[in-house]
Structure 1
C-alpha cells in the first residue's frame, strides 16, 4: 500500500517541481537560504553528486556554492530539500541492511539453534535499536526536510497532504513503531518474538525496494556499497575477539549504531544548520539573528 502511495506522490511532487512558477523571492528568503548553506555540513555532503528532477540534473556543489538568484530561489529550495532527502535515504539504506543482518541472527538463534534465551535477547535489542535509536533519528530527518521546505513561499504541505516522496518514505518508516507496539514481547510466549522478527523482515524488504526506487530516480551518488557499514563492523568485532576480548555481538552492534547515529545527527543535521526544539518537538532552520551554536548542540548530543 505504501509502495503505491510512494509512486503516486512521486508523480505529484515532481510534477509540482517542474511546473512551479519561477517568481522572484524576497531578499529575506534569499538571505535565509544562503545563510543556511554557509553551515559547514553542506560542503561535506561529498557522497551526493547530483539530483534529478524531471530530466534536469542539479549538481549539489553548484547549488551550495553559487549565490542564490532571486528568480531561482524557490526552485533551489525544492532542489535542496530533495538533496537533503537523498542524503538521508542513503543512511537509511545502509542501516536497513544492518537491521536485516541482525534480524537473521535473531531468527537463526530461535528457529535453527533453538537457543531461545539468546534469540529473545537479540530480538529485544533489535526492537530497541529500531524504536529508540533509528526512529528518533528519522524524526529529526523528516523535521529537517519540513523546516527547509517552510522557507518556500508555497510550502508543499499547504498544497498536498504528503508533499514529498522522500518525506512519505520517512513517515512510513516511523510508523513501524505502531506495528511493533501491537504485541508486547514476553518470554512466556516465544511466538510473539517470531511474529516480531517476521514483521521486521517483511518491513525492511519493502523499505529496501522503496529506497532503490528513490535513489534510482532522484539521487546520483558516488559509487558505494551499502553493505560496507555492516562489513566494517563485523571486521572490527572479529578483530576485538582475536585480541581476546569478549563482547556479545548484538551489544557491540547496538553501541556501534548509537555512535553512528550521533555522528549522523552531528554531520547531517546540526552542521547543516538545523536545531531541534525539545519543547515543541519541532525542527527549525538557523537564521542570521538566531544562529545555531554548534558546540552547544554537540554537547547536548553527548549528554
Structure 2
C-alpha cells in the first residue's frame, strides 16, 4: 500500500507538471534563473550524472552550462528541481542507513542494559528531531522555492504530489508522531514502541528512496554505507575507548558536522535563503548578493524537543540529551 501511494504520487506529479506545455518565461524569470545558476554550488553537483523526465535524459552539466532560452526556461527549472531532489534523496539514503545502524545499537543495548538502552534511544530521537528534521525542512523549502520561480497554477496543485517533497515532509512530521507516545521513564514500553516505530519508518523510507531513484536519478557510483563505515574506521583508529556512549557522542558530532556541510554546499551555495522569521526558504533574486553566509545554530546544550516524562522515582534516568 505504501509503494502504491508512492507510484500514485509520481504519476500525478509527472503527468501534471512535466507534460503540461509551458508558456515562454518572462524576462524577469529568465534573469533570476540565470543569476541563481551563478552560485557555486550548481557546478559542484558532481554526484549526479543525469535525470530522466518524459523518457528524456537530462545531463546535469548541460542544464547548468548551456544558456537558457526563454522558451526552455520552465523546462530547465523543472529538470533542476528534480536534480536537487535527487541530491537530497541521496543524502537521506545515506543518513537513514546511519540511523538504522544506531537503531540496531539501541535495540541490542536496551535488552542487555535497560538504563543505557533508554539513553541510547533518547540520543537517537535527539539526532532525528534536532539534526535531521531541520535539514529536511530546508531541503523541502529549497525544492518549493526553485519551483516557485515559475508561476503556474498547476504547479501549486502538483507540488502536493511531488514524491521527493512528500518524502522530506514525512521526516518533518516524525516529531509529531513520536510525541504521540512520548518517551516516559515511568513506562519503559514507550522506548520499545519508539524504537519499533523508527525501525519501520526507516525501512519504508529506504524503500521509497529506492523506487524514486531507480526511476528518475542516475548517480555516480557510490557506497550507500560510506558515511557509517568511514566514521567507524575513524573512531577505531583515533579513539581508544570501548564505551558505547562515547562512540554515540562521536557519531552524533559527525552527523551534526555533516548536516552543516550539506546546508552550506547544497542549500546556501545553490542560492537559497532561509528567513528565520517566517521559517520559509526563498530562491535568491537579482537584488540579493551572490556571497551569502548563514550560521545555523544547533545548540548542543538545548534539550531535545521530544517530550520525555520523568519522575522522582526514576532518578537513575536523570541524564539530559546533551
- The alignment's TM-score, normalised by the length of structure 1, stands at 0.93
Which sits farther off after the overlay, 168-177 or 224-233? 168-177
Q: Which runs of 5+ in 1 are unaligned?
A: none
Give CA deviations for 1:39-75 in whole Å, capped at 9, x if unaligned: 0001011000000112100000000111111110111
Contact 1:145 1:167 in 2 (8 A): yes
Which sits farther off after the overlay, 214-223 or 8-17? 8-17
For residues 112-261 of structure 1, the aligned pairs below 5 Å read 113=112, 115-154=113-152, 156-160=154-158, 162-242=160-240, 248-261=246-259
The alignment yields a C-alpha RMSD, in angstroms, of 1.9
Mapped partners of 2:204, 2:243: distance in 1: 37
Contact 1:274 1:292 in 2 (8 A): no
Question: What SS does the corresponding residue of 1:50 show, helix, strand or coil?
Answer: strand
What is residue 88 of structure 1 aligned with on the other side?
88
Which sits farther off after the overlay, 149-158 or 139-148? 149-158
Cα shift at 1:158: 2.4
Mapped partners of 2:297, 2:84: distance in 1: 21
Taking a change above 3 Å as real, the CA distance of residues 140 and 116 of structure 1, as seen in their structure-2 partners, is same
Cα shift at 1:182: 1.1
What is residue 272 of structure 1 aligned with on the other side?
270
Q: Which runs of 5+ in 2 are unaligned?
A: 300-322
Contact 1:149 1:155 in 2 (8 A): no
Taking a change above 3 Å as real, the CA distance of residues 245 and 116 of structure 1, as seen in their structure-2 partners, is closer
Which sits farther off after the overlay, 237-246 or 65-74? 237-246
Contact 2:271 2:284 in 1 (8 A): yes
Taking a change above 3 Å as real, the CA distance of residues 174 and 213 of structure 1, as seen in their structure-2 partners, is same
What is residue 287 of structure 2 aligned with on the other side?
289
Contact 2:17 2:154 in 1 (8 A): no
Mapped partners of 1:57, 1:48: distance in 2: 12
Cα shift at 1:243: 8.5
Which sits farther off after the overlay, 11-20 or 254-263? 11-20
- The alignment's TM-score, normalised by the length of structure 2, stands at 0.88
Mapped partners of 2:275, 2:291: distance in 1: 14
What is residue 102 of structure 2 aligned with on the other side?
102
Give CA deviations for 1:207-234 in whole Å, capped at 9, x if unaligned: 0000000110000000001101100011
Contact 1:50 1:58 in 2 (8 A): yes
Contact 1:275 1:292 in 2 (8 A): no
Mapped partners of 2:54, 2:264: distance in 1: 32
Mapped partners of 1:174, 1:145: distance in 2: 15
Contact 1:100 1:204 in 2 (8 A): yes
What is residue 77 of structure 1 aligned with on the other side?
77
Mapped partners of 1:155, 1:228: distance in 2: 41
Cα shift at 1:240: 2.2
Q: Would you say how many aligned residue pairs link Structure 1 and Structure 2?
A: 299
Mapped partners of 1:262, 1:156: distance in 2: 34
Contact 2:93 2:209 in 1 (8 A): yes
Which sits farther off after the overlay, 170-179 or 156-165? 156-165
Cα shift at 1:172: 1.7
Taking a change above 3 Å as real, the CA distance of residues 156 and 169 of structure 1, as seen in their structure-2 partners, is farther
Contact 1:18 1:54 in 2 (8 A): yes
Mapped partners of 2:242, 2:191: distance in 1: 32
